[in-house]
Amino acid sequence: MKRIFIAVIAALIFIPLQESNACTSAIITGKATPDGRPLLWKHRDTGTLDNRIEYFDKSKDNSIKYAFIALVDSPKETKEAWIGTNEVGFSIMNTASYNLTYEKVPIQDQEGVVMYQALATCRTLSDFEKMLKKMKFPTGVEANFGVIDAEGGAAYYEVSCRDWVKVDANDPAIAPEGYLIYTNHSFTGKMNDGMGYIRYVSAKNIFFDQFIKNQPITPQWIFNSLSRNFYHSLLEINLAENPEVAPNGWFVDQDFIARRSTSASVVVKGVLPKENPELTVMWSVVGYPPTAVAVPLFVKSGNNLPAQVVERGENSEGLNPKNCEICDQAMARKSSVYPIKRGNGGRYFRFNLLCNSEGTGYIQRLAPYEEAIFDTFNPVIDKWYQNGSVDLSELADLYSKMDTGASVK
């Protein structure tokens, strides 16, 4: 057994690392959630690891029809978004696709621009489809866009530089279990091309196991069971359950959902049809998920989002002033998990610093903080569902008392 794993690991070392834009995602319709509200999940991988949350105010920009919040790249001030939700309950994210476009096009990497425009102007899936129809080809886009709205719409859009196809998550013939999973290939694209097949199978297996056990699919479950899970479907191992495959704590960083290039994990929890869209919650882990915690965010907060997730400005402590505190803290912890910078050292990580038998790994030490956040906010959010609106005074009070684990070093 040990020889087999050594051989497999040796083979992994020679696989080229494809890190940038290697995202994992899912749409979970109300059919598969405990309370009937849809979920939109994006586990983001990118070459830009400094991320923050930003509020986009329609009163300050005439091009914005609907105010929105979004995950953005911290160094940039361009009009791009990487997952977000707006004041009318329209939410969108993407994963890059690598099997839709096979021609050279003059412009590329416009996915963030498309999502920014969609959040600023769209209310429904129909609005987004109208936007896609108006795009000039070639679009500079090769992606799978996941979208939910406040009217019950939920779909992926496989968009190439010249065409697009809708994959309806509410169609039982397409999504019989009520959810769809996407990584970095498109199902209408060239078969066996693209990327993310191992991560896709890993996520599919984890979701299906939860589904057949009739266990709830929630934002908290997604973060713990997917964004912080080191299950590898090809090797048929889970590092937390099979520590013997990494006897000295080290392992190869290849084809896990959580990886060196992961910058955030976000789950948007939508609303029921006819429910007030301001109740949409964007649960956000900004930074490397195994070394960070989730925070609930609402568009209604406007410019009063919690200080931990917005740009630090003068409080940057010598770091990127455009980045946010919670991401900086996650990156500092992560640096000890990926300590080797020279040669091929970046291919390896110290799993025992994330999870170990002594209970001193970052995942284990941060878990109580995140659990406390969910335990505190969920009952209040349930009350707001009953009342039909978000109480900003109560929300501000909760944010002022929220502990995101800054003391965990």
pLDDT at position 297 is 99
Residue 246: its pLDDT value, please? 86
Q: Sheet containing 39-45: which strands, arranged edge to edge?
A: 179-182, 24-28, 39-45, 262-269, 281-286, 295-297
pLDDT of residue 335: 98
pLDDT at 20: 59
Specify the pLDDT at position 318.
Answer: 85
The answer to whether 193 and 179 have CB atoms below 8 angstroms apart is no
Cis peptide before 379 (omega within 30 of 0): no
Total count of residues recorded for the chain: 409
pLDDT per residue as tens, the chain (409 positions): 444 444 444 444 444 444 557 899 999 999 999 999 999 999 999 999 999 999 999 999 999 999 999 999 998 777 999 999 999 999 999 999 999 988 888 888 999 999 999 999 999 999 999 999 999 888 899 999 999 999 999 999 999 999 999 999 999 999 999 999 999 999 999 999 999 999 999 999 999 999 999 999 999 999 999 999 999 999 999 999 988 888 899 999 999 999 999 999 999 999 999 999 999 999 999 999 999 999 999 999 999 999 999 999 988 888 999 999 999 999 999 999 999 999 999 999 999 999 999 999 999 999 999 999 999 999 999 999 999 999 999 999 999 999 999 999 9
pLDDT at res. 6 = 46
Bridge partner residues of 213 (DSSP): none
pTM attached to this predicted model: 0.95
Q: What is the pLDDT of residue 8?
A: 44
- pLDDT for the residue 317: 85
Other Cβ atoms closer than 10 A to 136: 7
Domains in the chain: ranges and CATH? 2-401 (3.60.60.10)
Residues 6 or more apart whose Cβ sits within 8 Å of residue 276? 388, 389
Query: What are 194's two structure tokens?
Result: 């693209």
Residue 188 CA to residue 197 CA, distance in Å, equals 15
Torsion of CA 232, 235, 240, 245, to 10 degrees: -150
pLDDT at 244: 84
Quote the CA–CA distance of 154 and 92 in Å, as a whole number.
10
